[in-house]
Amino acid sequence: MVLERLLVMPETIFLNFVDMDLGAITKYSALHAKPSGLILQYGTAGFRTKAEHLDHVMFRMGLLAVLRSKQTKSTIGVMVTASHNPEEDNGVKLVDPLGEMLAPSWEEHATCLANAEEQDMQRVLIDISEKEAVNLQQDAFVVIGRDTRPSSEKLSQSVIDGVTVLGGQFHDYGLLTTPQLHYMVYCRNTGGRYGKATIEGYYQKLSKAFVELTKQASCSGDEYRSLKVDCANGIGALKLREMEHYFSQGLSVQLFNDGSKGKLNHLCGADFVKSHQKPPQGMEIKSNERCCSFDGDADRIVYYYHDADGHFHLIDGDKIATLISSFLKELLVEIGESLNIGVVQTAYANGSSTRYLEEVMKVPVYCTKTGVKHLHHKAQEFDIGVYFEANGHGTALFSTAVEMKIKQSAEQLEDKKRKAAKMLENIIDLFNQAAGDAISDMLVIEAILALKGLTVQQWDGLYTDLPNRQLKVQVADRRVISTTNAERQAVTPPGLQEAINDLVKKYKLSRAFVRPSGTEDVVRVYAEADSQESADHLAHEVSLAVFQLAGGIGERPQPASDGEGTPH
């Protein structure tokens, strides 16, 4: 069938496919055979499942990366990781030319290619090449990184097999955090203007900016300069250990869950701390000590501390975005620049953070659908766009025009304004604008706290979170739920949104929304209100409405109790 298609193609298109060694692809593909009946979906986080089911996917994503590289005439990244998932899982995602997520049309190609049966592989590759007008004579270059999971090295070799069989060149960076691979791709595609595409280049760029910034902090002693870091037994520990001597004059870090014992993401890491509202295992916390947790691939960060009474306080992505955007706004006011700054959140952002930003800091806030690609895309619309998900994944983006303007201001303005412009210039260098990056975000936060002379409690006290609760409801088919207005309103099934509206009216300062999970047949429920008891009741009542109207299966939702869901 493939041969028939090639024979009826116009000569120019036929010659394009002569370079694709279909025989070699078939031969290699058989060595990375797809388990029959396995269907996977490329989502925001790429592909994720049990590691033993991923060999064929890795090989095929190597093929796809070569096609994407040829089409964009750029370096493409392939990252082997399952982020905050358990150690036995793994996953893969592709990184587009400027360090962004893969374009949506290519996510569809990824899903199609990963799920193709062996006999259809050639046809699917030709389809993608035709549809996307890929010039197969074009050179291709792919960079590869992996996390510390036991399965990652072998799986990244399968990616390399896919790259080489299609004639692509590659560079294997080996062990990297996910944001570091995004950085490498961005550097390589901007001719080194963004930075040097080596691990030393990454360390030096961020550390130089951090040390310059913290030199200007007026606080004495080291009370603000010591930080406990939970590395989730992941790649973050290796990279932070390599990097710490570059910035040690500005910050002393003490690493916990560094991978020397303990399993990746098990009872530790940003996701565990946020979900369970308690410190990770293996970390002793004295009162008012500043602590933070990375996730397994170091692209998320949350902060926390114990107060004098021993109560745990979480500082999540909402408060991180607030600290950063407030500081940026203050610097802009000082310099006298009226640049357009915006904060991008999802429906999961706590209502108190939105109110504080809009009403106190006068920073406009925008809401998008859940998923980093949506936030990143929206943040690009501003001169300065700050985005963070509540889970601690985020960064700040600065337009090229802003970078040029600030650089000029740092050279031309009089003393006080020049100092503020220089700070902003260093902040721009300190952010990994290619992706949310726990190491980069940590250094930004530490620099801002030092410059403003803020303790962790003062930061936490900027506003008080509204109590909230997250629950999951099992359903036969999550697709029965569709949403609009950045996932804050349910369109289907009929009657569900009306039921939610009626329930919300019963409680003060309340809101609730439901959305289908991107990965499993569950519906996620979020509720917030003026008290934890009200938030719990509202979440439970909304869960029952979902169960009744959206085809719930198994046991009826039970009232929330401590340890379930995600209160703040």
Q: Which of 83, 156, 207, 352 is catalytic?
A: 83
> Does 147 appear as a known binding residue?
no
d(CA 237, CA 239): 6
Please state the φ and ψ torsions of residue 121, each to the nearest 5 degrees. -55, -50
Helices (H), 190-255: 199-215, 235-247
Please list the residues that pair with 524 across neighbouring strands.
Answer: 472, 515
> Does 517 appear as a known binding residue?
yes
H or E stretch covering 408: helix 400-412
> Does 346 appear as a known binding residue?
no
Amino acid at 236: G
> Does 519 appear as a known binding residue?
yes
> Does 75 appear as a known binding residue?
no
In order of 26, 135, 228, 558, the CA distances from 302 in angstroms are 46, 44, 12, 29
DSSP for 96-149 reads -TTSPBPPHHHHHHHHHHHH--GGGHHHHHHHHHHHTT--TTS--EEEEEE-S-
> Does 391 appear as a known binding residue?
yes
Query: Angle 137-144-234 (CA atoms, 0-180°, nearest 5)?
Result: 165
Parallel, antiparallel, or unpaired for β 482-484 and 489-492?
Answer: antiparallel
Please list the residues that pair with 492 across neighbouring strands.
Answer: 482
Please state the φ and ψ torsions of residue 259, each to the nearest 5 degrees. 95, -5
> Does 116 appear as a known binding residue?
no
> Does 300 appear as a known binding residue?
no
> Does 19 appear as a known binding residue?
no
Determine whether 83 is an active site residue: yes
d(CA 401, CA 528): 39
> Does 494 appear as a known binding residue?
no
The encoded tokens of residue 113 equal 């290619």
> Does 515 appear as a known binding residue?
yes
> Does 482 appear as a known binding residue?
no
Among 292, 291, 209, CA closest to 246: 209
Among 265, 95, 69, 269, CA closest to 170: 69
Amino acid at 452: K
Query: Angle 81-238-254 (CA atoms, 0-180°, nearest 5)?
Result: 125
> Does 392 appear as a known binding residue?
no
| Cβ within 8 Å of residue 290, ≥6 positions away | 226, 227, 228, 303, 305, 449, 456
Amino acid at 229: V
| 3-state secondary structure at position 47 | strand
Task: Please state the residue numbers annotated as binding site for Mg(2+).
Answer: 83, 295, 297, 299
Task: Please state the residue numbers annotated as binding site.
Answer: 83, 295, 297, 299, 389-391, 515-519, 524
Task: Please state the residue numbers annotated as binding site for substrate.
Answer: 389-391, 515-519, 524
Q: Which amino acids are annotated catalytic?
A: 83
